[in-house]
Amino acid sequence: MAKKKNNKDTQKINDLEQYRVDSDEKVMTTNQGLKVNDTNNSLKSGERGATLLEDFLLREKITHFDHERIPERIVHARGSGAHGFFELYESIEKYSKAGIFTDTERKTPVFVRFSTVAGSKGSPDLARDVRGFAVKFYTEEGTWDLVGNNMPIFFIQDAMKFPDLIHSVKPEPNNEIPQAASAHDTFYDFVSRTTETLHNHIWAMSDRAIPRSLRMMEGFGIHTFRLINKKGESHFVKFHWKPTLGVHSVTWEEAVKINGADADFHRRDLWDAIEAGQFPEWELGIQVVPEKDEHKYEFDLLDPTKLIPEEMVPVQIIGKMTLNRNPDNFFAETEQVAFLPGHIVPGIDFTNDPLLQGRLFSYRDTQLSRLGTPNFHQIPINKPIVPVHNNQRDGHMQMDIPEGRGAYFPNSLMGSCPHLAKMADGGFTHYEERIDAKKIRARSESFNDHFSQPALFYRSLSDWEQEHVAGAYSFELGKCKVQDIKERMLYMISQIDSDLAKIVAENIGLKVPKIVEKPINQAIGADASKKEQQPGNKKNYLEEDPALSQANTKFDSIATRQIACLVADEFDMSAFKKMKKALEKENAMVKLIAPHGGTVTCDEGMDHEVDAAISTTESVLFDAVYVPGGEKAVMQLKKEGKYIKFINEAFKHCKAIAVDGAGEQLLDASFVKDHKDDAAIHISASPNNFIESISQHRNWDRREVAMQVPV
């Protein structure tokens, strides 16, 4: 049933109301409104005869079905969306005149789509990949799209290379293998020859590429944009989204298993959190650089493979985005939403970042083939919340009925309407950047530092994060077949950090070459005369940037964490009740996992609904495990190997485990038996200790022991 209008809804949600179709208690009709009496049988010449061409009901139904797919996005095909709103904490009018950045009374509607990049629409959520983080702000001055990722930099510096990058990472063209995975020869052939990719690539090898939840990852606008104030002054800006739940990830081993246990893990997590009223939130931050400081840094602000370390320019938090409503229909909203980096509003402008410049062309173009019409802005989810008037006409699927005799400007027949807006009335004008240059096909020498920031990133990580990076490189290169490619890649890694390269080399059974056969100056296909395109020497302008490490994120909440409670009939109700109450007070999700579905009976004789039978779920889908005890119950759990495996896996993945009473016997039957003194193992302890461990996300101190767990 369609949701009723609610005065808490944003203007966009209310606008969408007119398009929602509620079939509750309605009769079935054709698309022409004809009431349908039989939708199960085609019209035939006799009960066993051939179907008649006359059967318009069959043809309408089948034809529509035959055409119900549209091309999936060429990249970011797999995505999940949600509605919400953005609120500004305080005006930043000294930087921007945009209403969204000056009016603290506003609740700007947003639609957000998160995505993976390489996989197809049906690929699993936990691929090692960059995540798309695209936000459509329906502002009162028109729609602004901030089409970013969960990593602050990009793989390439010039849009001209985007098709090469994507062709290399997508499944190989001869056999369409592998799906949603970068671990193959073509990708590493490209990366090892294109040194500008190494910064984004090392991020993709880090835990950032396997988030615990879409709600627990950062977002970045990546490019340097401009903010323009009322006086027409420009400041450079980078946009950041900071999740209020902190930035957390799973391990690669879990990711691989999650993909099998629940390929929709992230999509489901986002959906469930919103349905449960646990609304995901991100604060919006900006890094502002005055025009005069454009050339102050050792990297170029226009180079999208570079971040501005937060140590050098702190992030100012200016507002908050909350996602509070799931779409009513995946196709109509999440699939048809069209993001264009070219959608901006007065107060925000572009820079000459050559990647951004190319994107300004690509997105409109792709929507034309994906959505099939230049009228894609009329699709409800894409419609601005403000009126649209211009002289663009016709085209496939025109939904409007423009009145009047003409469609041109200037005119006198229509009273010169629609008329132009003066700048003072919100008419958009571009920032008047001075340009005096030669027309050349080249890249600035200031873009040629390809190793300093990957090295800064690696140096800034904690021990456990560095280990994960080494593991990821080893896995990815271990999957490659061509030795030349692997060696060239090892050489590139050695340019970032020689110790890292040695670990990876050892893991894949090769040696780090001192020099590679093709010098790196061929990396960008440069002819040797283009000296400015050769990667420059590694610089060290900052020892560490703590903001780059997830070890420095927030660890103060267990809200929405999934806690598996392993129970069987006659489990200990009093211990369970106490634990459940404490966990739910902190907004964690307590799930009963039992030997069977239906209900399970506690030792006080009450029936409890089971959330999942053990045969339908896996340890990797949960953040922590609790066993309440009860002799008989635990006896039954001990008999089933999967419960032991459940505990072992939770331990292996460094998660918190708590047991009460007889529950300890399950630990004794598992690998945990000899590690009960671990800081995140709680035996008949206060729920608060367990809660504290869960809020720490993982006990990484355990990782050496954890490696020995044989699952």
Q: Which residues pair with 12 in a beta bridge?
A: none
Segment contacting ligand HDD by CB under 6 A, of 13-21, 101-109, 148-156, 453-461? 148-156
Instruction: Please select the residue that binds ligand HDD; options are 96, 102, 108, 115, rule is CB under 6 A.
Output: 115
Backbone angles phi, psi at 463, to 5 degrees: -55, -50
Tell me: does residue 304 bind ligand HDD (CB under 6 A). Answer: yes
Q: Which residues pair with 39 in a beta bridge?
A: none
Whichever of 134 and 501 has its CB closer to ligand HDD, that residue is 134
359 is in an annotated binding site: yes
Residues in 75-94 that interact with ligand HDD by CB under 6 A: 75-76, 79
Marked catalytic residue, from 31, 37, 76, 430? 76
Helices (H) and strands (E) in the chain, counts: 19, 18
Tell me: does residue 307 bind ligand HDD (CB under 6 A). Answer: no
Whichever of 159 and 633 has its CB closer to ligand HDD, that residue is 159
Residue 268: C-alpha distances to residues 34, 160, 264, 271, 621 (Å):
37, 36, 6, 5, 11
Residue 672: C-alpha distances to residues 253, 366, 658, 685, 695 (Å):
19, 53, 11, 16, 21
Whichever of 81 and 687 has its CB closer to ligand HDD, that residue is 81
Instruction: Please select the residue that binds ligand HDD; options are 14, 179, 278, 366, rule is CB under 6 A.
Output: 366
Give the integer Cα–Cα distance in Å for 385 and 12.
6
536 token code pair: 């420059």
Q: What is the β-pairing status of strands 599-601 and 607-609?
A: antiparallel
CA 156 distance to own-chain centroid: 19
Tell me: does residue 590 bind ligand HDD (CB under 6 A). Answer: no
The distance of closest approach from Cβ of residue 445 to ligand HDD in the complex, given in angstroms and rounded to an integer, is: 21
The distance of closest approach from Cβ of residue 86 to ligand HDD in the complex, given in angstroms and rounded to an integer, is: 17
Q: What is the size of the binding site for ligand HDD (CB under 6 A)?
A: 25
Tell me: does residue 132 bind ligand HDD (CB under 6 A). Answer: yes
Tell me: does residue 508 bind ligand HDD (CB under 6 A). Answer: no
Tell me: does residue 243 bind ligand HDD (CB under 6 A). Answer: no
Whichever of 206 and 224 has its CB closer to ligand HDD, that residue is 224
Tell me: does residue 339 bind ligand HDD (CB under 6 A). Answer: yes
Segment contacting ligand HDD by CB under 6 A, of 211-219, 253-261, 355-363, 459-467? 355-363
List all residues 6 or more positions away from 672 whose beta carbon is below 8 Å from its beta carbon. Answer: 647, 648, 651, 657, 678, 681
Tell me: does residue 355 bind ligand HDD (CB under 6 A). Answer: yes
Tell me: does residue 73 bind ligand HDD (CB under 6 A). Answer: yes
Give the integer Cα–Cα distance in Å for 280 and 674.
39
Q: What is the β-pairing status of strands 589-594 and 656-659?
A: unpaired
Residues in 165-194 that interact with ligand HDD by CB under 6 A: none
Residue 76 designated active-site: yes
Cα atoms in the 13 Å half-sphere on the side-chain side of 621: 22
The distance of closest approach from Cβ of residue 220 to ligand HDD in the complex, given in angstroms and rounded to an integer, is: 8
Spatial contact of 223 and 91, defined as CB atoms under 8 Å apart: no
The distance of closest approach from Cβ of residue 455 to ligand HDD in the complex, given in angstroms and rounded to an integer, is: 21
633 token code pair: 């119950």
Whichever of 383 and 578 has its CB closer to ligand HDD, that residue is 383
Spatial contact of 654 and 676, defined as CB atoms under 8 Å apart: no
Q: Which residues pair with 391 in a beta bridge?
A: none
434 is in an annotated binding site: no
Q: Which residues pair with 343 in a beta bridge?
A: none
The distance of closest approach from Cβ of residue 356 to ligand HDD in the complex, given in angstroms and rounded to an integer, is: 7
Residue 343: C-alpha distances to residues 144, 400, 465 (Å):
5, 21, 37
Backbone angles phi, psi at 73, to 5 degrees: -55, 140
CA neighbor of 381 nearest in space, from 342, 341, 334: 334
Whichever of 359 and 645 has its CB closer to ligand HDD, that residue is 359
Q: Which residues pair with 88 in a beta bridge?
A: 319
Tell me: does residue 211 bind ligand HDD (CB under 6 A). Answer: no
Backbone angles phi, psi at 114, to 5 degrees: -100, 150
Residues in 1-60 that interact with ligand HDD by CB under 6 A: none
Give the integer Cα–Cα distance in Å for 202 and 200.
6
Whichever of 79 and 309 has its CB closer to ligand HDD, that residue is 79
Segment contacting ligand HDD by CB under 6 A, of 68-76, 256-264, 268-276, 402-410? 68-76
Tell me: does residue 111 bind ligand HDD (CB under 6 A). Answer: no
Give the integer Cα–Cα distance in Å for 668 and 425.
73
Segment contacting ligand HDD by CB under 6 A, of 147-155, 548-556, 663-671, 687-695? 147-155
The distance of closest approach from Cβ of residue 618 to ligand HDD in the complex, given in angstroms and rounded to an integer, is: 29
Amino acid at 136: K
Tell me: does residue 134 bind ligand HDD (CB under 6 A). Answer: yes
The distance of closest approach from Cβ of residue 398 to ligand HDD in the complex, given in angstroms and rounded to an integer, is: 22
The distance of closest approach from Cβ of residue 77 to ligand HDD in the complex, given in angstroms and rounded to an integer, is: 8
Tell me: does residue 376 bind ligand HDD (CB under 6 A). Answer: no
CA neighbor of 669 nearest in space, from 652, 644, 645: 644
Tell me: does residue 159 bind ligand HDD (CB under 6 A). Answer: yes
73 is in an annotated binding site: yes
Instruction: Please select the residue that binds ligand HDD; options are 12, 83, 97, 113, rule is CB under 6 A.
Output: 113
Marked catalytic residue, from 83, 149, 200, 653? 149
Q: What is the β-pairing status of strands 589-594 and 108-116?
A: unpaired
Segment contacting ligand HDD by CB under 6 A, of 144-152, 321-329, 453-461, 514-522? 144-152
The distance of closest approach from Cβ of residue 74 to ligand HDD in the complex, given in angstroms and rounded to an integer, is: 4
Whichever of 299 and 363 has its CB closer to ligand HDD, that residue is 363
Give the integer Cα–Cα distance in Å for 166 and 615.
39
Tell me: does residue 301 bind ligand HDD (CB under 6 A). Answer: no
363 is in an annotated binding site: yes
Tell me: does residue 199 bind ligand HDD (CB under 6 A). Answer: no
Amino acid at 526: A
Instruction: Please select the residue that binds ligand HDD; options are 146, 147, 210, 315, rule is CB under 6 A.
Output: 147
Give the integer Cα–Cα distance in Å for 507 and 659.
37
113 is in an annotated binding site: yes
Residue 149 designated active-site: yes
The distance of closest approach from Cβ of residue 611 to ligand HDD in the complex, given in angstroms and rounded to an integer, is: 31
Whichever of 158 and 664 has its CB closer to ligand HDD, that residue is 158
Tell me: does residue 144 bind ligand HDD (CB under 6 A). Answer: no
List all residues 6 or more positions away from 299 whose beta carbon is below 8 Å from its beta carbon. Answer: 306, 446, 449, 452, 453
- Rg for the chain, CA atoms, rounded: 28
Tell me: does residue 152 bind ligand HDD (CB under 6 A). Answer: no
Spatial contact of 490 and 505, defined as CB atoms under 8 Å apart: yes
Whichever of 215 and 580 has its CB closer to ligand HDD, that residue is 215
Give the integer Cα–Cα distance in Å for 160 and 442.
11
Whichever of 75 and 625 has its CB closer to ligand HDD, that residue is 75
Q: What is the β-pairing status of strands 234-243 and 219-220?
A: antiparallel
Give the integer Cα–Cα distance in Å for 14 and 378.
16
3-state secondary structure 618-663: CHHHCCEEEECCCHHHHHHHHHCHHHHHHHHHHHHCCCEEEECHHH
The distance of closest approach from Cβ of residue 458 to ligand HDD in the complex, given in angstroms and rounded to an integer, is: 21
Q: Which residue positions form the known binding site for heme? A: 73, 113, 162, 359, 363, 370
Positions annotated as catalytic residues are 76, 149
Q: Enumerate binding residues for ligand HDD (CB under 6 A).
A: 73-76, 79, 113, 115, 132, 134, 147-149, 154, 159, 162, 222-223, 304, 339, 355, 358-359, 362-363, 366
